[in-house]
Structure 1
Amino acid sequence: MSKENVISKKEPFARMVKRDHISVGKAWAIRLIAVALSLVVAALVIVAITKQNPIEVYLGIIDGAVGSNRRIWVTIREMMVLLCIAIGLTPAFKMKFWNIGAEGQILMGGTAAAAMMIYFGEKMPNWLLLVVIFVVSGLAGLIWGVIPAIFKAYFNTNETLFTLMLNYVAMQIVTFCIVFWENPSGSNTVGIINAATKGGWFPTIFGNAYTLNVIIVLIITLVVYIYMKYSKQGYEISVVGESQNTARYAGIDVKKVIIRTMMISGAICGIAGAVIVSGASHTISTSTAGGRGFTAIIVAWMSKFNPLAMILVSGFLVFMQQGSIQVASQFGLNENASDIITGILLFFLIGCEFFINYKLEFRKKGEK
């Protein structure tokens, strides 16, 4: 054997190897290290931009997220919305149906909620109107989710592109509805709906207007967790996600599972739209979803599609987002500064998943 062949057969000094298994504790330790590193890098960026002490900046983040009773509840409100959307994406993603259309499903659910508030705000008791809002919003999101599911099930279309394109269709529908309802020339938002009567608004419970948001989203989280973990349909979703051929061999109707699962996914995202419109903003616009549909993808993926773990992940992301907004305002930074801080955090959190799935292995002494 030539010298060149001997050299070519030597093992590299270090290589990345896929892990067979990693403990839950070690996986979360890697994530915590990633969070710590992201905060260090974000501090360096902040110092470079503002020349401020990074400790003061991080105190500003804490103050912006939980510095007052109102800020605490705003953080909780935003966390609940993000959690609800991530929960909605979970069944589809578990099935490996890449639903990138949560933004559109939220907009359709929010538009349906706004329509019910406008047309029935003074014609129904508020409790009945809220029930109608949830049903109609869920149906609107369900329809927007089942359209790409049918095409995927019967024509094997690309669900990523299909659901993504439906987001833009939903935005045009929202724009049309706004013009139809108010006809404001050039306006892309509708005013506060039922500001005087508060018809369709979430009621104040225990002295807070956002308590019902928390109750509804936590109930949905618990139901989806039980559904995915203990029900037959949840098991079918997992099998279809692992292998459609295996699912067919086991007698599972793959087309039926795809359509049913996307109906559930779209309906929950539609309800998230109702939570935003009826429970928070009390208005509808093309920016009602606010990019949450894409952020929720990160929440669902980082949580390994575990609804209970999503509570922690969504809470942490919203905490940093709300705090970053305060920092940008406090230090007179551009409004995009908060997005930079959040982006650094997400970069490290996404990157650490590589080290959870892979490990660095060094060549043993004397090994060729």
Structure 2
Amino acid sequence: MFKDSSLHIAARDSIAWWKAWLVRLIAVLLSLIVCAIVIFGLTKMNPVEVYKGIFSGAVGTSRRAWVTIRDTMVLLLIAIGLTPAFKMKFWNIGAEGQILVGGATTAALMIYAGDSLPTPVLMILMFVASMAAGVIWGVIPAIFKAYFNTNETLFTLMLNYVAMQIVTFCIVYWENPAGSNTVGIINSATRAGWLPELGGLTYGWNVVIVLVFTIGMYIYMKYSKQGYEVAVVGESQDTARYARINVKRTIIRTMGISGGICGVAGFLLVSGASHTISTSTAGGRGFTAIIVAWLSKFNAFVMILVSFFLVFMEKGAIQIASQFNLNENASDVITGIILFFILGSEFFIRYRIAFTKAHK
């Protein structure tokens, strides 16, 4: 005879990949139902119409679709850049600064070398220089972490503000006639330094560059010796030292890679998108990319889907704000609910719940 029953939570040994994705799909469907209830409760509007507005704002026209793809690629690239650092448990919160220094370097070359260098040479130079600037910005906190064990979270975060001040100084030095914190459209007449079209597609190069980095990072982290060292250092530095891995060199090298990729994101934002530089060029993407990396569990290909979803919702927010006279935060509420369900689904993928009966 049983006295009572109790709830028991245990970690799963494994779960089939299709079951894991089925759980995530169910979570998304449930989140959409909850979102519909919230939308109707707050606005008394048809949730389907709001969903249509979000879809239209993101991919309703070919231009909107390409802008969504462009911004997805930039966010994805930043998340790719954060991946090795976070896998190593080096909390790189400085992507914003690394993007800004890469963008500022690109802008400087566009201004000073745009009329004197052929386009292919200028593009290669801007790409390499922006990456080098990001590497420097990533290596600085890595050196202090490796040799003095400083707090990398605070260090990288403070470097964001240093980068913002550098950009502000550059803009003032370049004598912006409007007097605001933007240098205006650079080389608008000659388009020198503007990333050219590829196959008739305005943002074709953005897609190609980011996909190359995505595939490269997947191979680097999964199959290379250095990727293995990153994983070991992240699990335990003592174990890494026992395995004769140079921990200091690994930290510095990994943050150089992380910062360099974020610097390239600055190149894409300035040369391939806005063609200007300001303190808001990064636009918070460095922090959003952290969400992308964590939700994707550092899987480079899953990051494509997560990046697209977040940008999709961001673009949809603008549309529903104008179409239905709603605050843009309405889309943030929808995004938050969906993310909550997606994150919650990971619990059921990792753990199983069972009811056990206790005997008298």
Whether TM exceeds 0.5 here: the answer is yes
Q: Is 1:62 matched up with 2:43?
A: no
Report Cα offsets for 1:230-281 as digits up to 9, x if no partner: 1111111111111111111011000000000000000000001101110001
**CA distance in structure 2 between the partners assigned to 1:142 and 1:256 by the alignment:** 14
- After superposing the two structures, state which structure 1 stretch, 158-167 or 252-261, moved more: 158-167
In structure 1, what is the equivalent of residue 147 of structure 2?
154
Cα distance 1:49–1:328, how it changes in 2: closer, same or farther (>3 A)? farther
Deviation at 1:216, TM superposition (A): 0.5
What is the aligned counterpart of 2:86 among 68, 93, 111?
93
1:216 maps to 209
Greater mean alpha carbon deviation, residues 56-65 or residues 351-360: 351-360
Q: Distance in 2 between matches of 1:269 and 1:97?
A: 15
Distance 2:336 2:278 in 1: 25
Structure 1 segments unaligned to the other structure (5+ residues): 1-9
- C-alpha separation between the residues in 1 aligned to 2:278 and 2:337? 29
Aligned equivalents of 2:347, 2:155: Cα separation in 1? 28
Contact kept in structure 2, 1:324 and 1:341, CA below 8 Å: no
SS of 2:10's partner is strand
**RMSD of the TM alignment (CA)?**
1.8
With over 3 angstroms needed to count, the CA separation of the structure-2 counterparts of 1:325 and 1:39, relative to structure 1, is farther
1:230 corresponds in structure 2 to 223
Distance in 1 (alpha carbons) for counterparts of 2:328 and 2:177: 27
1:338 positional shift: 2.9
Query: Offset of 1:185 from its aligned partner?
Result: 6.8
1:6 corresponds to? none
Counting only pairs closer than 5 Å after superposition, residues 329-340 of structure 1 correspond to structure 2 as 329-340=322-333
- Within 1, Cα distance between the matches of 2:335 and 2:168? 29
Q: Which of the numbers 341, 346, 358 marks the counterpart of 1:348?
A: 341
Q: CA deviation at 1:352?
A: 2.9
Give SS of 1:202's match. coil
Deviations 1:50-95 (A, max 9, x none): 3221111111111111111111101110110011001101111111
Q: Distance in 1 between matches of 2:170 and 2:195?
A: 23
Asked whether 1:277 is paired with 2:277, we answer no
CA displacement at 1:136 relative to structure 2: 0.7
Change (3 A) 1:180 1:62: same
- 1:145 is matched with which residue? 138
Q: Provide the C-alpha distance between the structure 1 equivalents of 2:191 and 2:316, rounded to a whole number of angstroms.
A: 30
Q: Using a 3 Å threshold, how does the CA distance of structure 1 residues 157 and 57 change in structure 2: closer, same or farther?
A: same
Match of residue 64 from structure 2: 71
Change (3 A) 1:367 1:202: farther
**Residue of structure 2 aligned with 1:317, choices 307, 310, 313:** 310
Match of 2:243 in 1: 250
Q: 1:277 to 1:251 in 2, by over 3 A?
A: same
CA distance in 1, matches of 2:248, 2:178: 45
**2:359 & 2:189 partners in 1: Cα distance?**
79
Q: Which amino acid aligns with 1:36?
A: L
Whether 2:115 is the aligned partner of 1:119: answer no
Identity across matched positions, percent: 70
Which amino acid is 2:316 matched to?
Answer: G
Which residue of the partner structure matches residue 16 of structure 2?
A: 23
Q: Does the 8 Å contact 2:5/2:358 carry over to 1?
A: no
| Amino acid across the alignment from 2:26 | I
Give yes or no for contact 1:102–1:269 (8 Å, CA) kept in 2.
yes
Once the two structures are superposed, residues 85-123 of structure 1 have per-residue CA deviations (whole angstroms, 9 ceiling, x without a partner) of 011011111111111111111111111111111111111
Question: d(CA) in 1 for partners of 2:27 and 2:159?
Answer: 35
Q: 1:38 is matched with which residue: 31, 56, 60? A: 31
1:194 aligned to 2:187? yes
Does the Cα contact within 8 Å between 2:79 and 2:289 map onto a contact in 1? yes
1:151-175 deviations in Å (ceiling 9; x for gaps): 1111111111211121111111111
Query: Secondary structure of 1:322's match?
Result: helix
